[in-house]
Chains A and B, each alone.
Chain A
Amino acid sequence: MSGGSVLPLLLALGLAPLLLGVINRTKAAVAGRVGPPLLQPYHDLRKLMAKGAVYSRTTSWVFRAGPVIGLAAVVVAAALVPLGAPALVAFPGDLLLFVYLLALARFSTVIAALDTGSSFEGMGASREVTFSTLAEPALLLALAAIARKTGSLSLSTMLPHVTVGVWAQAAPPLALVALALLVVFLAENGRIPVDDPATHLELTMIHEVMVLDHGGPDLACILYGSALKLWLFGALLIGLALPVHSGHRWLDAGAPALGMLLLAVLTGLVESSMARLRLLSVPRLLVGAGVLSVLALLLVLR
């Protein structure tokens, strides 16, 4: 069951907020501004932990439990994802556990949002769930295609088995999977073109509006949880796209970490160069990602 290394988990827990900082800094650089410092998310987290929380009288224990459950689910999911070294916890079928832990995190956020009784948060919850309904099949089918190609059902054996040789042999399906995972990466983390993380208008928000009423340590949990989620999806993508398996422990760990930072820069560039899609067009994009996954799966199954 175990036998992996604690390195991927430590890297995730430590470096996840840095990704957010890199993305924001990239967007600022493209826009010609200086932008916030790279370590700003860490400062934000520290500031939030020091604050107190105010709870509305219309909420119940669900509202207080939501952020905690969400963070706990994402942290456990982080123990399942390899990055340069096998993950701490690995067993056949752990990719399903991974997907469902993330679904649990999403569920807890949604439930906490609905618990407030606010119409804005309900709107955000319904949008979030709609888009996830379309994105989850894309993610699962993409993972299924990789699993079929490498012949194993555990993330820690799947991703390291995607070597340069496998890429040379099966480039089309793997490219399609990478593209699908990129779209899911942008959709699940509320990035442009699906959602604008920097918007101030509640009617255009999806993720941010669900957490409007949280404050203090709860908000810190949510912020950290979303950074971790970003890291985890990125780790999946980098593990697929960057087949570096030289055998040196530090090179194997360092290269993917560098890849993650590059992915953050790429996300920042994508966010700076595109506008957000109309909400009615987002399902088309997600179905497109699903179709890419299906196509990859069919190509691999042949």
Chain B
Amino acid sequence: MIPSLLLIPAVGGVLAYFVRRAGPRRALLVLAAVAHAGMTAATWRVEPAPAWGGWLELDALGRMFLTITSALFLAAALYGVAYLREEGHGERRDVEEGFLFDNAPEATFTACLLLFLAAMTLVTVSQGFGLLWVAVEATTLASAPLIYFHRHHRSLEATWKYLLICSVGIALALLGNFFLAVAASGHGGASVRLVLPDLIARAPGLRIVWLKAAFLLFLVGYGTKMGLAPLHTWLPDAHSEAPSVVSALLSGALLNCALLGIVRVQQVCAAAGQAAFGQGLLVGFGLLSMAVAAVFILGQADYKRMLAYSSVEHMGILTLGIGLGGGGTFGGMLHAVNHSFTKAMMFLVAGNILTRYRSKSTEEVRGVLRALPASGMLWAIGLFAITGSPPFGPFLSELTILKAALDQGRAGVAIAYLILLAVIFVGMATAILGMAQGVPRDARMTARAREPLLRVVPAAALAAVVLLLGVYIPPAVRTALEDAARALG
């Protein structure tokens, strides 16, 4: 089952590059997405067998992240078909500066999307640290052409920054891999394989200095990919210049994959009794990310950049949760799930707004509720979801993290957390509500345009999931998250 999970998107990607006509190619994209989602759903019923001698195995945490990735990709694929139909071909005029530009060939785009899915799947099923590294680097390389879909100088700049910063970060993670190998090397002879179950089993025998150094490098390396401040500088640029479909996948699925890298090494540290070392660092990075995001969200003029900084904030929140330990870890992992669905929905809706209004500015866009009723409603709902209002999912996870902070008596952390959440709420609410309400500046837009079904339904489905998670967490999900929380100490 695991090999098929990997092969479906990989083969689909290679095939999509060679299919000439747009119709069959888009059908291939949706077909691959549906097949992948189907197989992922099957893994919840039937435990998949480990493949390749234990290097590929789907544990509870991996299955959780795989499901998120697969669901988001399905939504993105459906949305993407409508997007490509409308915007894929021909010359376009840039919305910010007004010049003409081309888009990348659709075949490249579709192929890279599917290869991106394959790489992310590989991240979730890897149990070996070396393989995990290869997979994360592969996600960087597969997603770079996706960011450069609109061929102009700003997206090129964003792509270059993304490539370079993430590659350097991931190179540091490779050094972390080697440090981990040294930590696991046996005293004269048998070393431990760098596979998660083996490492956890032999954890007390690992060399502590090297393990700590490895954790540090993993945190900095994969943290760059995840968007933790101060290593997040590529994130706003990449998310604002990429097409909304790609931004949804980057924020919703890719950041989680990078998180998985950090979580795996923290599992090893916890098994070796060094959980406390990492937790302090994680709390620090978490609060710093929230603070940086708060500063840049206030008065942000570009709504896609605002959503990108919101991703930084939420990555900070869940890092803080994991760093607090105990109930906080459960809250952090739940928040990963909630944030993925919410942010992906927001980006898809933002794509609709951009197509209609042809402007990225929070000042210029007005009256979305009138011009695009369905998208406008989702946009407003999304605001409340992403800032942590009940009855949506993020409220529960953020509350759990707050409770963990208070339970541990860390009043300072809790107060800073609440203040930053409030600041971000104010910043985002003024922007998003301002966009949703009012009357569109251009009178022609009041005529309610027909919104393509495929552009609204995926986002609405994601919103429904977020609402559901706020009210009721399915037992299977709860068990998986609790297992993960326990493994992290």
| A–B direct touch in complex (beta carbons closer than 8 A) | no
Instruction: List residues of A whose CB falls within 8 A of some B CB.
Output: none
Instruction: List residues of B whose CB falls within 8 A of some A CB.
Output: none
